[in-house]
Amino acid sequence: MAIQVGDKLPSVKLKIVTPSGQMDATTEELFAGKKIVVFGVPGAFTPVCSSQHLPGYIRNAEALRAKGVDRILCVSVNDIFVMEAWARDRGAGDAVTLVADGSAEFTRAVGLDFDAGNFGMGTRSQRYALVAEDGVVTHLAIETPMKFDVSSVEAILAVL
């Protein structure tokens, strides 16, 4: 079952991309005392993820910060090296922190995984966006498969 509004995010160790390289971080370190927007994508370099989802959050990072968001995280079930390359390719800089969930540990823990084996991709993240305050989910929007509406940056800006 997917995480719900009011639930605390699970304790997971993640690899994140920073402008100066990669580092390990726990969910407690990332979320404690902060308002965070997290959006999950099925894969780095995939069409909608690369052309719309991630670029929208990069372009609107300042608008999110103006609404009190401390950090924006993009989670994908990819390894850290792919996520670093994607961050460079898309110009994420410090606007959006890319999170490598290579073994889908976080994605499974929040119940937002799906089997994309029919596409040759294995376990992947559903497309979603959530807002968490001090590690507690305050808003969750999960996309219907093959759609891109409720997890867009515009949709999240509208609920903040």
Q: Could you read off the pLDDT of 27-50 as tens digits, one per residue? A: 999 999 999 999 999 999 999 999
Question: Considering the domain boundaries, does residue 1 fall inside one?
Answer: no
Contact criterion met (CB below 8 Å) for 115 and 93: no
Q: What's the CA gap between 109 and 75, in Å, rounded?
A: 13
**33 lies in a domain?**
yes
DSSP 86-140: HHHHHT-TTTSEEEE-TT-HHHHHTT-EEE-GGGT--EEEPPEEEEEETTEEEEE
Nearest to 130, CA basis, from 50, 27, 45, 47: 27
pLDDT at 62: 98
Asked if the model's pLDDT at residue 150 lies above 80, the reply is yes
Q: Measuring CA to CA, which residue among 152, 143, 141, 137 is closest to residue 124?
A: 143
Whether residue 5 lies inside any domain: the answer is no
pLDDT digits (tens, 9 = 90+) for 87-96: 999 999 999 9
18 located within any domain? yes
Please report, for the domain that includes residue 60, its CATH number. Answer: 3.40.30.10
Exposed, middle or buried, 142 (CB in 10 Å: 0-12/13-18/19+)? middle
Which of 149-160 are b and which e, b meaning 16 or more Cβ less than 10 Å from the residue's Cβ?
A: ebbbbebbbeee
pLDDT in tens, 98-149: 999 999 999 999 999 988 767 767 789 999 999 999 999 999 999 998 899 9
Which pLDDT value is given to residue 115?
Answer: 82
pLDDT at 120: 64
pTM: 0.95
Q: Which of 22, 12, 4, 31 is nearest to 101 (CA)?
A: 12
Residue 77 included in any domain: yes
Examine residue 132 and state whether it is found in any structural domain, yes or no: yes
> Does residue 32 lie in a domain region?
yes
4 in a structural domain: no
Number of structural domains the chain divides into = 1
Q: What is the pLDDT of residues 46-95, one digit of tens each?
A: 999 999 999 999 999 999 999 999 999 999 999 999 999 999 999 999 99
Output the CA torsion sign for 119, 49, 152, 71.
positive
Q: What pLDDT shows up at residue 117?
A: 67
Range of the domain at 68: 13-159
Q: Structure tokens of 124? A: 């992947």
- Which residues are annotated as catalytic? 49
> What are the tens digits of pLDDT across the range 1-27?
899 999 999 999 999 999 889 999 999
User: What is residue 123's predicted lDDT score, i.e. its pLDDT?
Assistant: 87
